[in-house]
Structure 1
Amino acid sequence: MNQPSPSDTPQSAVDQQALDWFVRRERSLTAGEAAQFEAWLALDDAHGAAYARWHGDWTRLDALPADGIAQLRRQLAVDQAAASVPVSASRRDWFKAMARRAALATLALSATGGGYLAWQHWQRQPVYTASFASARGQQQAVTLPDGSVLRLDTATRVNITLYRQRREVRLLEGQAVFQVHGDTARPFDVLAGAMRITVVGTRFSVRHTPGTGSVDDVRVEVEEGRVRVARSSTLDNAPFVTLGAGQRIAADRAGRLGEIKPVTQSGIAPWREGRVNFDDTPLAEVLAEFARYRHTGLVLRDARVAQLRVTGSFDPLRLDNFLRVLPRVLPVQLRREGGVTEIAAL
């Protein structure tokens, strides 16, 4: 059987060999290794071409701004932590990742005509995107590549985008608790309704449930650390408030902020323990909240009954307890007919 000639060697194998030699030459070669390298180059023209490609990718770093190079190195460290390059990777694997990212950065520079604006454009490209949705009556835990953890309540939808210099979660609907991994170089933003909540590292909850009829469009409660709350549409110029541990605030649909108040005794997000709390809440909103967790079969046909106020703590999956208590605390009666229960006035 004929042996393949050097030119028959698969290109990927040639690239690996070239990279091995590049890394070895970076840390200097012995006289014997230098002779082996020259022999390898002379064996096939493809060897020299592959070596030149790796050398070109690496030297293109000189075309990038100094702060861009520093950010490139920091991002590779983030990639390594996120398992893009395993911690156990060899020097060759690490070099390959660095050279490839250098090539991508140079490509971005070339494609847009060069300059720092091109580097900024490349920096703005996401490194991770994902969407998650929890089913009605279910909760879901999500761990992000940066180590941050989100806990989604029932009927909650989020879109997540991680960039090289910032992290962003869009809370489309529902509520979630955020345990943010601290990283001063990458602020963490939660966008909900008209609001932007910005942190570096903390634990807090955000609620945005426009379908419940609440006058509060967005609610923020802080358990640890500090968060900044502002309107997202005019973030640079809009007034903002800073919340510390044990504080909460709400905003309406226009982004107008209410007063800073203390978190209630039940703490942030009592739904983590299977509870929903109401404090002088209209009955219509109470039923809308229960409906986020399960089909209720409850209806209100009287506007006056809908505005009756409820205070208490309930298990949203145990409506029987709520219905047993309701006629004792409000002037209402339950009318069951055809699989539907109407809450009517006495």
Structure 2
Amino acid sequence: MTDLHRAAPSPSDLDAEALEWFVRLNRGRGAEQNAEFQAWLAGHAGRQAAFARWQADWQRLDGLPAAGVQQLRRQLAADQAKADRTRAAPASATRRAWLQGWSALVPQAAVAAAVLLTAGGGSYLAWDHWQQQPVFVQNFSTERGQQLDVQLPDGSRLRLDTATRVEVALYRQRREVRLPEGQALFQVQGDATRPFDVLAGAVKVTVVGTRFSVRHTANVPGDDGVRVAVEEGRVRVATVPAAGQCAHPGAAVVTLAAGQQVAADAAGHMAPVGPVAAAGAAPWRDGRITLDDVPLAQALAEFERYGPTGLVVRDAAVGALRMTGTFDPRRLDNFRQALPKVLPVRLQGEAPHTEILAAH
């Protein structure tokens, strides 16, 4: 046990002594121990405040799972008992050893340990850290040609298109979905206390309750940015800094209403807000690909997201020809038949090795 009569202890020593007394008193208080405790309190003006901090921090653990708190209590008592037996290390060393071993505890107890091992304002930071831990985490993905409907615990629904991956994390105070690749339609359950964020590329979409689609196809040439289209409600779209960079005051922020959409390039630079195309915010949910004046090479890359096309373009001038139309990616034969009718091209070779050539 720390020397109770040491003169002018430092704040860290006071904190370590208070922790020792806190543990001892939690193991049981006899008359002799109570007298020693009162003598310790009277020995320095700062001891009462140090002990009160430990009591306040422990009370903060009421909201944590009981099993985790009990495990923490046992670990703390065991470490202190070991120090009492050896008498070989000062309380601060025992405390450091406990800190080093806390990662073996269950996650909730580890956070509880963080609360107890910090003093003053640090306790708030640790408690806030616990509050920020997700209550639901799961990843969802689709293969080429596959779509998937997902219902989240908060009541929100997601429709994933082909070759799409999302990472969902629901927190106590917010909801977050990352879209590394693909496109999805979001129907968000309204909850003013928990905003819903979608992070895609260099863009963050924030809503409370609405229906909108987000596309992020980094591997599609000419369409490697992010596109957001709103069917119902309103969404806020903002550029976000790349990893390791700070946000700047000039970052673009737009608010979209129903029937509006915006596109951003891979760096987050946004085009002007425009109307949602006549085909809707997410024509792919009905099994359609809508091409709006896009290069043929990009159109082929879009079809490839749904499955192999067997079509190749080697002539850059042919790949640059632009086309418009709506097609069913499951009926590639219709697309093949339409190509020579809408573009000055011809097909050479049989599937699955067909080259698209200039008509002349």
TM-score strictly above 0.5: yes
Shift of the 190–338 alpha-carbon distance from structure 1 to 2, 3 Å rule, reads closer
2:135 to 127, 131, 134: 127
Contact 2:289 2:327 in 1 (8 A): yes
Alignment of 1:315 onto 2:318: no
In the alignment, structure 1 residue 116 sits paired with structure 2 residue 124? yes
Q: Secondary structure at the match of 1:284?
A: helix
Match of 1:254 in 2: 267
Q: 1:106 to 1:286 in 2, by over 3 A?
A: same
Residues 65 and 116, structure 1, Cα contact 8 Å, conserved in 2: no
Pick from 155, 177, 180 the counterpart of residue 163 of structure 2.
Answer: 155
Offset at residue 214 of structure 1 (A): 2.1
Unaligned ranges ≥5, structure 1: 1-48, 50-59, 74-100
2:301 alignment partner in structure 1: 288
**Cα separation, partners in 2 of 1:236 and 1:262, compared to 1, 3 Å:** same
State the number of aligned residues: 261
Q: Distance in 2 between matches of 1:215 and 1:266?
A: 18
CA gap 1:143/1:123 in 2 versus in 1, 3 angstroms: same
When the two chains are superposed, the root-mean-square deviation of aligned CA atoms in Å is: 2.8
Q: 1:342 to 1:61 in 2, by over 3 A?
A: farther
Kindly provide the amino acid, as one letter, of the partner of residue 324 in structure 2.
Answer: T
For the residue of structure 1 that corresponds to 2:261, the secondary structure is strand
Q: CA deviation at 1:143?
A: 1.1
- The one-letter code matched in structure 2 to 1:110 is L
Specify which of 178, 187, 191 is matched with residue 186 of structure 2. 178
Identify the residue that residue 164 of structure 1 maps to in structure 2: 172
3-state SS, counterpart of residue 349 of structure 2 = strand
DSSP-derived class of the 2:189 partner:
coil
Unaligned runs of 5+ in 2: 1-26, 28-53, 65-106
Q: Amino acid of the residue matched to residue 189 of structure 1? A: D
Identify the match of residue 230 of structure 2 among 222, 230, 249. Answer: 222
CA deviation vs aligned residue, 1:233-267 (integer Å, no higher than 9, x gap): 25574230010111000000110010100111221
Q: Does 1:211 align with 2:224?
A: no
TM-score, normalised via structure 2 length = 0.67
> What is the CA–CA distance in structure 2 between the aligned matches of 1:190 and 1:235, rounded to whole Å?
17
Question: Is contact 1:64-1:119 (8 Å) kept?
Answer: no
Return the alpha-carbon distance in structure 1 between the equivalents of residues 114 and 229 of structure 2: 41
The higher radius of gyration belongs to: 2
Alpha-carbon distance between aligned partners in 2 of 1:131 and 1:244, rounded to the nearest angstrom: 29
Alignment of 1:1-346 (within 5 A): 63=57, 106-113=112-119, 115-215=123-223, 217-233=225-241, 237=249, 238-337=251-350, 339-346=352-359
SS at match of 1:243: strand
What amino acid does structure 1 have at the position aligned with 2:272?
Answer: E
Q: 2-side partners of 1:278 and 1:175: how far apart?
A: 15
Deviation digits for residues 50-75 of structure 1 (CA, Å, limit 9, x no counterpart): xxxxxxxxxx9964899x99xx69xx
Alpha-carbon distance in 2 for matches of 1:64, 1:166: 26
Matching residue's letter, 2:258: A
